[in-house]
Structure 1
Amino acid sequence: MRRQTRRQIIVFAVIGVVNTATYYVPYLLLLTRFPYLVAHILATLLSMTGSFFLNAKFTYRTRPTWRKFLIFPLTNAANFLVTTVGVYALVDLLHVGSRFAPLLASLAAIPVTFVVSRWIMLPTAGTTPTRAESA
């Protein structure tokens, strides 16, 4: 694995922790007024925006553009699908508390989210090395 890719994975993981807090705090606040799935959806939309800008600047060191911003939800589509199914399964099928289910469900989505976000933010990452990667 190239040094640049390793750095991206580490930074992505750190931002993931920040993003989890950005999701979880609003989720808990929204949970006091809305059903858990509504709280989950609204908190996801909020954290998705923060995730885009943090990953553009720190993980991939790329300029955020409207095009990337508009397709960035594909990154979170996989995350959203995995976490939503996970939250539902944990709460309704396994009877895990709705306050903790999103944290558990998000663990399964991390690898998928990294691959999709890298593909969006660095469209040529899988084809040819960038100058930084070949140095």
Structure 2
Amino acid sequence: MRELPTLRPGGQIVRFAAVGGVNTVTFYACYLPLHRLLPYFAAYTAAFAASLAGAFFLHTYVTYRTRPTWTKFLLFPLTQVTNYSVQSAGLVALVGWCGLDTAVAPLVAALCALPFTYLVSRRILRPPARTGPAAARPGPSAQAGPPPARSGEAA
């Protein structure tokens, strides 16, 4: 299979923010109708859960240009634990302490969570290259020189 191109970290941050914007619009489009039917925090939680799968595929393909795998898919909710925690704390603080309107507070909380979520999602979806003894050993294709002669062949 063809390898996807790697990205400069600056490009990833821009893509991350753009994908986050799309995901926030998706989240908000779910949140507003639910907010009319449910208490604000229940509506927030349901909208957050609804946008999770879309966020995984957008970040996998667009932000980090890597292939989705079941392992990444199963680990991706861990990246969102950070997002959910920071946004939830921000939401409660903005509504309860600052008196911000419950229709606007989730957007402000999402902006506050952006740097934390980027760092954690990058670690999960684009893990660093392996280092150590196993990574340092050359594989068969990295060996120098011609392949060894088979028995019965002239060297």
Q: Tell me the TM-score normalized by structure 2.
A: 0.77
Deviation >3 Å, runs of 4+: none
Shift of residue 65, structure 1, vs aligned partner: 1.1
How far, CA to CA, are the matches of 2:47 and 2:94 in structure 1?
18
Paired residue secondary structure (1:106)? helix
Shift of residue 74, structure 1, vs aligned partner: 1.3
Structure-2 change in CA distance of 1:58 and 1:70 (3 Å): same
Identify which of 122, 126, 132 aligns with 1:122.
126
Shift of residue 63, structure 1, vs aligned partner: 1.0
- Segments of structure 2 that go 5 or more residues without pairing to the other structure are 1-6, 132-155
How far, CA to CA, are the matches of 1:69 and 1:118 in structure 2?
13
How far, CA to CA, are the matches of 1:56 and 1:73 in structure 2?
13
Name the structure 2 match of 1:93. 97
- RMSD, aligned CA: 1.7
Counterpart mapping for 1:68-107 below 5 A: 68-107=72-111
Higher helix share: 1
Name the structure 2 match of 1:65. 69
CA contact (8 A) 1:12 1:59 kept: yes
Name the structure 2 match of 1:48. 52
Aligned length: 126
Structure-2 change in CA distance of 1:104 and 1:125 (3 Å): farther
How far, CA to CA, are the matches of 1:93 and 1:5 in structure 2?
36
Tell me which structure has the larger Cα radius of gyration: 2
Structure-2 change in CA distance of 1:125 and 1:84 (3 Å): farther
CA contact (8 A) 1:119 1:126 kept: no
Shift of residue 123, structure 1, vs aligned partner: 1.2
How far, CA to CA, are the matches of 2:98 and 2:17 in structure 1?
27
Task: Report the AA paired with residue 60 of structure 1.
Answer: Y
How far, CA to CA, are the matches of 1:8 and 1:126 in structure 2?
20
Q: Tell me the TM-score normalized by structure 1.
A: 0.87
Report percent identity of matched pairs: 46
Shift of residue 47, structure 1, vs aligned partner: 1.4
Structure-2 change in CA distance of 1:126 and 1:8 (3 Å): farther
